DNA sequence: CAGTCGATTCACT
DNA sequence: GTGAATCGACTGA
C-alpha cells in the first residue's frame, strides 16, 4: 500500500535538471502504470543515467533519429526502446529540452498491482524478480513502444505517472559502472552512472558488456 | 542493401 | 556458466 503522502505527482521541474542530479534522486520514487485491468506501481531501486550526445553509451550519441526522438524533447516524458528482438526498456527524459539525456529505469519493487505484474512476468520465481532488470520492469508494467513519448508529469489521465514516493537519503545510494554498456566498467571508468539503493533485494546483478559471438 | 549487434532474459548443463 | 532467442535500427559500402 502506498501512503497518500507518497502519491504527490512529480512536477516537470523535477526532471528539468542535469541527468546526474535526477538519476539518484529517482530512487525511492514511484511510477504508476494505469492499465485497463488496474494500476501497477513500482518503487524505483536501480537506475542508470545516459547523457545524450556527449555519452557514447547513449542512444542519442549519434544524434536524433526516429527511434530516439523523444529524448530530444521536453523532460518528464517516457522514452521506450525495443531491443534484442524481444524486450522493451523505459527511460525518463531529463532536461533541459534538446539535451537528449535520460534515466533508464533498471529495477524496482512492485508496490501495487503485483497480481497483474505476476501474470505478465510468468517466469519470475518470486515477487522480488518481477521488476529486477530493465526489460523485466517494462514487462511487469506492460510498457511497449506504443507508450513512447508519454508525459509522466501530465495532469489528468495518463497511462504512466511519476510520484514523489519517499526519496532515499544520499548515504543509502550506491553507484558504479553501467550494466552491459560498451566502454563502461573498465579501470578508470568515467561513467559510474548506475545508481541503486544499497542492499536492496530487487536490484539487478551487475554484468559487464559482452560483445556478441559470431554464429 | 546486406551485415552487425544490441542500455536482455531465459532455459539448460 | 553458456548459448539461444529474435528483429529492428543503424552503419557503411
The CATH number of whichever domain residue A177 belongs to comes to 3.10.300.10
Q: In this structure, is residue A36 part of a structural domain?
A: yes
- Give the nucleotide at minimum CA-to-C1' distance from A64: C10
Neighbours of A145 (CB within 10 A): 11
Hits for CB < 7 Å against strand B across A residues 187-206:
204
Protein-covered nucleotides on strand B (Cβ within 7 A): 5-11
Torsion angle of C-alpha atoms A170, A176, A179, A180, degrees rounded to 10: 160
DSSP letter, residue A125: S
Q: In this structure, is residue A214 part of a structural domain?
A: no
How does pLDDT run across A71-93, given as a tens digit for each residue?
999 999 999 999 999 999 999 99
Q: Is the CB of A210 under 7 A from strand B?
A: yes
Composition of chain A by helix, strand, coil, percent to 5: 20, 30, 50
Number of domains in chain A: 1
Q: In this structure, is residue A42 part of a structural domain?
A: yes
> Domain range spanning residue A144?
4-197
- Give the nucleotide at minimum CA-to-C1' distance from A68: C9
How is residue A125 written as a grid cell? 520465481
Q: In this structure, is residue A210 part of a structural domain?
A: no
- Give the nucleotide at minimum CA-to-C1' distance from A180: B7
Q: In this structure, is residue A114 part of a structural domain?
A: yes
Taking the model in full, what pTM does it have?
0.98
Q: What are phi and psi of A99, to 5 degrees?
A: -80, -25
Q: In this structure, is residue A49 part of a structural domain?
A: yes
Q: In this structure, is residue A208 part of a structural domain?
A: no
Per-residue CA distances from A163 to A26, A27, A55, A166 (Å): 10, 11, 28, 9
Protein-covered nucleotides on strand C (Cβ within 7 A): 3-11
Q: In this structure, is residue A212 part of a structural domain?
A: no
Low-confidence ranges of chain A (pLDDT < 50): none
How does pLDDT run across A179-210, given as a tens digit for each residue?
999 999 988 889 999 999 999 999 999 999 98
Torsion angle of C-alpha atoms A60, A92, A136, A81, degrees rounded to 10: -30
Amino acid at each position: 500500500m502506498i501512503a497518500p503522502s507518497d502519491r504527490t505527482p512529480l512536477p516537470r521541474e523535477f526532471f528539468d535538471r542535469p541527468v546526474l542530479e535526477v538519476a539518484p534522486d529517482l530512487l525511492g520514487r514511484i511510477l504508476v502504470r494505469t492499465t485497463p485491468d488496474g494500476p501497477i506501481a513500482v518503487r524505483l531501486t536501480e537506475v542508470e543515467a545516459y547523457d545524450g550526445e556527449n555519452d557514447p553509451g547513449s542512444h542519442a550519441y549519434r544524434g536524433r533519429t526516429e527511434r530516439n526522438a523523444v529524448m530530444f524533447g521536453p523532460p518528464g516524458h517516457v522514452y521506450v526502446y525495443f531491443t534484442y528482438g524481444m524486450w522493451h526498456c523505459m527511460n525518463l527524459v531529463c532536461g533541459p529540452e534538446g539535451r537528449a539525456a535520460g534515466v533508464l529505469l533498471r529495477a524496482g519493487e512492485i508496490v501495487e498491482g503485483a497480481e497483474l505484474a505476476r501474470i505478465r512476468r510468468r517466469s519470475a520465481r518470486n515477487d522480488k524478480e518481477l521488476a529486477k532488470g530493465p526489460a523485466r520492469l517494462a514487462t511487469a508494467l506492460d510498457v511497449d513502444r506504443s507508450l513512447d513519448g508519454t508525459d509522466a508529469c501530465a495532469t489528468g489521465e495518463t497511462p504512466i505517472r511519476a510520484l514523489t514516493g519517499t526519496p532515499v537519503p544520499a548515504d543509502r545510494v550506491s553507484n558504479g559502472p553501467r550494466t552491459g554498456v560498451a566502454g563502461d566498467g573498465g579501470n578508470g571508468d568515467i561513467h559510474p552512472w548506475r545508481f541503486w539503493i544499497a542492499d536492496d533485494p530487487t536490484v539487478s546483478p551487475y554484468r559487464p558488456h559482452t560483445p556478441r559471438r559470431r554464429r
